[in-house]
């Protein structure tokens, strides 16, 4: 069986220090576990992100993305494991003004009532020891036209831009965005990501959580798939599409011949377990035609997309001998 | 400017600008006081030594501080937490304690005009005559002992959901007011209720105000109760705020 879950989350425990903070790391999780009551929100999370990376945390609702962000911000203290942010503790990093964040606000705007945008932004700038110049923040977030508005007069998309401005007002090294485009229409979404991409080119580390595959793929240079509180896959955004485009072909075969199956048209990966065979194929039609032509004795044929999670596990299989987490 | 000062200035400015809210918060106890003024008992000596009209004015100062604390501290804070603004502040370098410290300070600032207005009404329509120095001392004293009221408000604001904030705030306002002996003399209450009244801080806040006007002098017991409530509530506010922070975005 060639397939292996690769994520750092699958690393055997008892190897402390292997993903320890080193020069250039924006943050790292080592074997982190965090539970809310009976719910294990983060379950053995291991992840290290270098400075300057643009990373998408991709996963379904409840996968642990928001909890991971809370932990990075020192809002939640995990019961087990070590979290290092910019070489120090999450709380220290936030208190030193080195981290900025745009959190989920549910139904609220995330902004104070009864003030104009400019006043709120100036206040947040003053909370930092060395904030970015006010005009620079305004320009980066593209909110020149909103400064004079009352916070309750903003549309959903405008409020998100203002909240992004608040997140970057302190000129942070690390910016965390938790589903930042949740309340936006298609157009504001596009404009927002253009702005984030520009911001990311300035050498800062940007991490955003999303459950939109496309967003992750188009914006991030690295996509980390999280599910059930651990990393299930970790790879470059560009290879994502190919992995997702591939199909999973499943059947049973009395005597599977791995080498022969490997050679079938379109097949990129073969997993054999007893009589059960799973092929990953870039062209399922051609693969099945080849199965028939090659007189492979298959039964119970099923073709499926395999799901994103599985696609990612394939995607991030390491070459032998390499470290699992980049 | 330090983060604490910047945030304090911002919050107080924001509060002062919401004049509709302030007008209702400050106006309510004053109007409520006026409803009591027609009472025929005004000259009667109650609770041992003070005429009812004096007792009432001091009681209404205390009630006013409770109204201001619960609405300015409670209702507003609760709504703000739901909107996500307080959470945004938590991910800035603003120290966690300064958020609640500023909230309590801002709430105390709302208490002051309530006290002054109640006293103005007391002096002009309530039949209370005192030398100027006594008025100043009374205002400062009532303001100082209003601290538990402001803290109760902030504590409620940290605990309750905005949807339930209104009934909780109004409910507490009238329950504490009634059982604390702010709507009628404590010595006319049934014995069991008198015990309840003496456990509540509002009775002792009012009692300290009366002691200034009736010449009974220093009431160590009341000072102890008020100080005890202030310390206890301040600790509760800090603890609840910490728990609230930890909850993060579960």
3-state secondary structure A98-148: CEEEECCCCCCCCCCCCCEHHHHHHHHHHCCCCCCCHHHHHHHHCCHHHCC
As a whole number of Å, the end-to-end CA separation of chain B is 34
Chain A CB contacts of B93 below 8 Å: 94-97, 127-129, 170
Q: What is the mean pLDDT of each run of 10 residues along chain B (250 residues)?
A: 89 88 90 82 74 89 94 86 86 90 94 94 89 93 95 93 89 91 84 87 90 78 94 94 66
B79 lies within 8 A of chain A by CB: yes
B162 lies within 8 A of chain A by CB: no
Residue A96 structure tokens: 């030193």
Global ipTM: 0.84
Give the HSE-up count for residue B245: Cα atoms under 13 Å, Cβ half-sphere: 21
Closest CA in chain A for residue B9: A123
Our CA angle for B95, B101, B102, nearest 5°, is: 95
A107 lies within 8 A of chain B by CB: yes
The partner residue sitting opposite A127, judged by closest CB among B3, B17, B80, is: B3
Rounded distance, CA B108 to CA B16, Å? 13
Q: Is the dihedral of CA B197, B202, B205, B206 positive or negative?
A: negative
Distance (Å) from the C-alpha of residue B16 to the closest C-alpha of chain A? 10
Question: What 8-state DSSP symbol labels residue A212?
Answer: -
Determine whether the interchain pair A66/B249 forms a contact, defined as Cβ–Cβ distance below 8 Å.
yes
A76 lies within 8 A of chain B by CB: yes
Rounded distance, CA A282 to CA A293, Å? 18
**In Å, what is the CA distance from B149 to each residue of A164, B40, B70, B173, B208?**
37, 30, 7, 10, 15
Helix (H) / strand (E) element for A262: namely: helix A258-262
**What would the CATH number be for the domain defined by A246-306?**
3.30.70
Determine whether the interchain pair A103/B17 forms a contact, defined as Cβ–Cβ distance below 8 Å.
no
3-state secondary structure of A182: coil
The partner residue sitting opposite A119, judged by closest CB among B10, B89, B249, is: B10
How would you list the strands of the sheet with A25-36, edge to edge? A39-50, A25-36, A80-85
Chain B CB contacts of A67 below 8 Å: 248-250
Strands in chain A per DSSP E: 25-36, 39-50, 54-58, 80-85, 99-102, 174-178, 205-210, 222-227, 230-235, 247-252, 267-273, 276-281, 299-304
Give the distance, in angstroms, between the CA of residue B107 and the centroid of all CA atoms in the same chain.
8
Chain A CB contacts of B18 below 8 Å: 114
* CATH 3.40.50.300 for the A8-235 domain, yes or no: yes
Rounded distance, CA A69 to CA A42, Å? 11
Rounded distance, CA B138 to CA B134, Å? 6
Q: What is the mean pLDDT of each run of 10 residues along chain A (326 residues)?
A: 38 38 77 87 91 89 87 90 94 94 83 92 94 94 94 89 94 93 82 87 89 80 86 72 71 86 85 87 85 85 68 48 39
Q: How many CB pairs under 8 A join A and B?
A: 101
3-state secondary structure of B153: helix
* Mean pLDDT score of chain B: 88
B80 lies within 8 A of chain A by CB: yes
Given the DSSP bridges, would you call strands A54-58 and A174-178 parallel, antiparallel or unpaired? unpaired
The partner residue sitting opposite B92, judged by closest CB among A104, A107, A124, is: A124
- Residue with token string 């006081």: B33
**Cβ-contact A5, A325 below 8 angstroms:** no
Q: Which residues contact B97 (CB under 8 A, 6 or more apart)?
A: B238, B241
Distance (Å) from the C-alpha of residue A119 to the closest C-alpha of chain B? 8
For residue range B57-98, list pLDDT tens digits in order: 999 999 999 999 999 888 888 888 888 888 889 899 998 889
Name A64's bridge partners.
Answer: none
B45 lies within 8 A of chain A by CB: no
Rounded distance, CA A135 to CA A191, Å? 19
Chain B CB contacts of A127 below 8 Å: 3, 6-7, 89, 92-94
Rounded distance, CA B89 to CA A255, Å? 63
Residue A150 structure tokens: 């009352």
3-state secondary structure of B27: helix
The partner residue sitting opposite A73, judged by closest CB among B6, B14, B91, is: B91
For residue range A131-142, list pLDDT tens digits in order: 999 999 999 999
**Cβ-contact A228, A282 below 8 angstroms:** no
**In Å, what is the CA distance from B83 to each residue of A74, A203, A275, B219?**
20, 32, 56, 44
For residue range A149-179, list pLDDT tens digits in order: 999 899 888 898 999 999 999 999 999 999 8
**Cβ-contact A220, A234 below 8 angstroms:** no
Determine whether the interchain pair B85/A111 forms a contact, defined as Cβ–Cβ distance below 8 Å.
yes
The partner residue sitting opposite B10, judged by closest CB among A77, A123, A129, is: A123
Distance (Å) from the C-alpha of residue A103 to the closest C-alpha of chain B? 7
Name A85's bridge partners.
Answer: A27, A88
Rounded distance, CA B93 to CA A172, Å? 11
Residue B161 structure tokens: 């959901």
Rounded distance, CA A159 to CA A171, Å? 20
Domain ranges of chain A: 8-235, 246-306
How would you list the strands of the sheet with A276-281, edge to edge? A267-273, A276-281, A247-252, A299-304
B14 lies within 8 A of chain A by CB: yes
Rounded distance, CA B203 to CA A158, Å? 50
**Cβ-contact A29, A43 below 8 angstroms:** no
Determine whether the interchain pair A70/B248 forms a contact, defined as Cβ–Cβ distance below 8 Å.
yes
Per-residue exposure over B188-218, b if at least 16 CB sit within 10 Å of its own CB, e if not: ebeeeeeebbbebbbbbbbbbbbbbbbeeee
**Cβ-contact A97, A130 below 8 angstroms:** yes
Give the HSE-up count for residue A195: Cα atoms under 13 Å, Cβ half-sphere: 22
């Amino acid at each position: 069986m060639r397939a292996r879950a690769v994520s750092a989350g699958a690393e055997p425990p008892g190897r402390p220090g292997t993903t320890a903070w080193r020069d250039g790391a924006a943050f790292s999780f080592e074997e982190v576990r965090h539970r809310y009551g009976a719910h294990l929100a983060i379950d053995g999370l291991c992840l290290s992100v270098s400075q300057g990376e643009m990373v998408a945390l991709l996963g379904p609702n409840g996968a642990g993305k928001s909890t991971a962000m809370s932990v990075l911000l020192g809002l939640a203290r995990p019961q087990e494991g070590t979290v290092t942010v910019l070489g120090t503790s999450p709380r220290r990093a936030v208190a030193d003004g080195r981290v900025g964040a745009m959190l989920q606000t549910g139904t609220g705007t995330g902004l104070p009532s009864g003030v104009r945008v400019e006043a709120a932004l100036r206040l947040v700038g003053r909370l930092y020891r060395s904030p970015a110049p006010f005009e620079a923040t305004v320009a980066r977030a593209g909110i020149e036209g909103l400064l004079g508005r009352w916070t309750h007069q903003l549309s959903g998309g405008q409020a998100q831009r203002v909240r992004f401005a608040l997140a970057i007002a302190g000129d942070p090294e690390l910016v965390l965005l938790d589903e930042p485009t949740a309340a936006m229409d298609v157009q504001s979404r596009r404009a927002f990501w253009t702005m984030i991409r520009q911001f990311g080119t300035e050498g800062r580390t940007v991490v955003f959580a999303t459950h939109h595959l496309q967003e992750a793929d188009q914006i991030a240079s690295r996509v980390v798939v999280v599910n059930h509180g651990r990393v299930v896959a970790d790879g470059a955004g560009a290879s994502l599409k190919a992995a997702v485009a591939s199909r999973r072909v499943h059947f049973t075969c009395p005597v599977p011949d791995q080498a022969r199956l490997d050679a079938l048209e379109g097949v990129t990966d073969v997993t054999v377990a007893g009589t059960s065979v799973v092929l990953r194929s870039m062209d399922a039609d051609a693969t099945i035609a080849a199965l028939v032509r090659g007189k492979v004795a298959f039964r119970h044929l099923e073709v499926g997309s395999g799901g994103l999670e599985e696609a990612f596990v394939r995607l991030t299989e390491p070459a032998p001998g390499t470290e699992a987490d980049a | 400017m330090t983060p604490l000062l910047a945030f304090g200035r911002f919050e107080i400015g924001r509060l002062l600008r919401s004049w509709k809210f302030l007008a209702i918060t400050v106006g309510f106890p004053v109007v409520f006081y006026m409803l009591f003024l027609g009472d025929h008992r005004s000259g009667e000596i109650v609770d041992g030594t003070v005429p009812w009209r004096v007792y009432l004015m001091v009681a209404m100062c205390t009630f006013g501080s409770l109204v201001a604390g619960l609405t300015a501290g409670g209702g507003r804070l609760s709504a703000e937490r739901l909107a996500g603004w307080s959470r945004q502040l938590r991910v800035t370098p603003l120290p966690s304690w300064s958020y609640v410290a500023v909230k309590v300070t801002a709430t105390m600032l709302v208490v002051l005009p309530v006290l002054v207005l109640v006293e103005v009404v007391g002096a002009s329509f309530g039949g209370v005559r005192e030398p100027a120095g006594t008025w100043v001392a009374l205002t400062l004293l009532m303001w100082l002992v209003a601290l538990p009221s402001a803290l109760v408000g902030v504590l409620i604001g940290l605990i309750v959901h905005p949807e339930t904030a209104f009934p909780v705030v109004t409910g507490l306002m009238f329950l504490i007011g009634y059982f604390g002996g702010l709507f009628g003399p404590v010595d006319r209450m049934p014995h069991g209720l008198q015990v309840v009244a003496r456990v509540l801080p509002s009775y002792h806040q009012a009692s300290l105000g009366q002691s200034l006007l009736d010449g009974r002098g220093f009431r160590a017991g009341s000072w102890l109760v008020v100080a005890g409530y202030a310390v206890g509530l301040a600790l509760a506010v800090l603890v609840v705020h910490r728990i609230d922070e930890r909850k993060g975005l579960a």
